[in-house]
């Protein structure tokens, strides 16, 4: 980028050589984009790797295997508590940079009996996330599934990790869709009660398709299948998992299904799940469904709806901001706490009317003679008032 700056006269200096337009900075920006070359990527990876070598890495993993095995109640522990952030960053970079290291961790995953080591390897591979690492990861999962070498709870954990990938490769997305089809075939098209693996497969596939915008035709086939499966869901467990999957697609085509199966349900748990799912889907239709849930008689559902609004886009918040203020009168500490959290997340949207409500909130708590609010809540209220006044 080339920036040309003309020297301007100092304050008070008269200089007829400069026209009015010339008193602005002139920038000539090159149309050529900055190219992040493979060589630059390699240098950055090398810096991140530091002094970590394949041998040191392997010895660290073997040491973890030598530790006391975790109890079955802690099977879902996913990290090495003794691994510092610096080492984890080095390990992720080395996996991404060095093919031999990738082979080593893949083989360690195959042979180790340590649940802790397997979980750590899985997290490190997900952290690396490159195409070659994803290919190795899905190969590992396929091997384990085909040989039936993994407990359903661990297989469920593996599916969930795939959903964490920030940039899933198309082959990883295809793998997740194939797992949905495989489980569906195994179950003869039925939704089995309490089948955690089936539930996780749906949720993971939905999450990955939301990050797979370049292959809409493939996504659409999955969405059609998900819509039909939601329609035939019977038990709350089945329905809950599918509603979460629908929300994870971030696609507004599922709002009506979530309304019918969740928002309009007599089951409070399903309505609560619907609030979570709708929070991930942008658009007017999901806003309307969320506003319905915000008037629910169940405080947990109202609180979840407010929590969902924290991450809504600006247009959604601007359009519905006035709907939140009445909840300050709620008798539920849970609801009031979530309202405060929403306001704290978007303090720039507070207006004079909101501040008036907050001042009344603080005043009533101080004058009531009752301990209606804990000290921390009052501090939060006062902080919001002071921040608005200072702005």
For the stretch 160-180, pLDDT in tens is: 788 889 899 999 999 999 989
Q: How many C-beta atoms lie closer than 10 Å to residue 37's C-beta?
A: 8
Locate 189 and state its tokens. Answer: 């098209």
Q: Are 362 and 381 in contact (CB under 8 A)?
A: yes
Q: How far is CA 112 from the centre of its chain?
A: 30
Ramachandran assignment for 235, one of left (phi > 0), alpha (psi -120 to 50 degrees), beta (any other) = beta
Burial class (CB in 10 A: 0-12, 13-18, 19+), 87: middle
Residues 22, 42: Cα–Cα separation, whole Å: 44
Q: Provide the greatest CA pair distance for the chain.
A: 86
Per-residue confidence (pLDDT) for residue 302, from 0 to 100: 97
Q: Are 11 and 37 in contact (CB under 8 A)?
A: no
Helix then strand then coil, % of the chain, to nearest 5: 70, 0, 30
Does residue 3 have a pLDDT over 60? no
Which of the pair, 22 or 219, is modelled with greater confidence? 219
Q: How far is CA 133 from the centre of its chain?
A: 21
**28 φ, ψ (degrees, to nearest 5):** -110, 105
Residue 271 neighbours by CB under 8 Å, 6+ apart: 262, 263, 265, 293, 296, 298, 301
Per-residue confidence (pLDDT) for residue 185, from 0 to 100: 85
- Lowest mean pLDDT, pick from 41-55, 140-154, 305-319: 140-154
Per-residue confidence (pLDDT) for residue 388, from 0 to 100: 86
Residue 303's pLDDT band, with cuts at 50, 70 and 90, is: very high
Overall average pLDDT of the 42-71 stretch: 79
Per-residue confidence (pLDDT) for residue 86, from 0 to 100: 86
Per-residue confidence (pLDDT) for residue 143, from 0 to 100: 84
Residue 52's pLDDT band, with cuts at 50, 70 and 90, is: very high
């Amino acid at each position: 980028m080339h920036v040309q700056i003309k020297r301007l006269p100092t304050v008070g200096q008269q200089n007829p050589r400069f026209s009015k337009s010339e008193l602005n900075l002139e920038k000539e920006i090159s149309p050529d984009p900055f190219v992040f070359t493979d060589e630059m990527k390699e240098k950055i990876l090398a810096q991140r790797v530091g002094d970590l070598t394949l041998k040191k890495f392997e010895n660290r993993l073997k040491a973890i295997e030598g530790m006391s095995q975790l109890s079955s109640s802690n099977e879902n522990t996913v990290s090495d508590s003794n691994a510092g952030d610096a080492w984890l960053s080095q390990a992720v970079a080395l996996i991404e940079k060095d093919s031999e290291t990738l082979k080593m961790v893949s083989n360690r995953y195959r042979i180790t009996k340590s649940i802790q080591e397997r979980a750590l390897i899985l997290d490190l591979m997900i952290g690396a996330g490159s195409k070659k690492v994803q290919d190795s990861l899905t190969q590992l999962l396929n091997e384990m599934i085909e040989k039936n070498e993994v407990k359903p709870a661990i297989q469920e954990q593996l599916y969930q990790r795939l959903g964490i990938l920030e940039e899933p490769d198309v082959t990883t997305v295809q793998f997740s869709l194939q797992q949905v089809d495989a489980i569906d075939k195994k179950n003869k098209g039925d939704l089995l009660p309490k089948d955690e693996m089936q539930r996780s497969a749906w949720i993971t596939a939905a999450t990955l398709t939301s990050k797979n915008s370049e292959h809409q035709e493939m996504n659409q086939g999955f969405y059609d299948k998900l819509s039909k499966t939601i329609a035939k869901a019977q038990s709350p467990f089945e329905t809950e998992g599918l509603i979460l999957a629908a929300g994870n697609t971030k696609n507004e085509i599922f709002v009506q299904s979530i309304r019918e199966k969740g928002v309009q349900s007599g089951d409070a748990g399903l309505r609560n799940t619907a609030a979570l799912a709708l929070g991930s889907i942008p658009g007017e239709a999901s806003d309307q469904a969320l506003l319905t849930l915000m008037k629910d008689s169940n405080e947990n559902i109202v609180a979840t709806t407010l929590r969902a609004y924290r991450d809504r886009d600006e247009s959604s918040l601007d359009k519905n901001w006035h709907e939140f203020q009445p909840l300050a009168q709620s008798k539920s500490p849970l609801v009031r706490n979530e309202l405060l959290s929403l306001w704290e997340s978007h303090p720039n949207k507070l207006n004079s009317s909101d501040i008036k409500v907050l001042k009344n909130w603080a005043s009533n708590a101080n004058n009531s003679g009752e301990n209606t609010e804990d000290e921390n809540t009052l501090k939060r209220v006062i902080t919001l008032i002071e921040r608005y006044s200072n702005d």
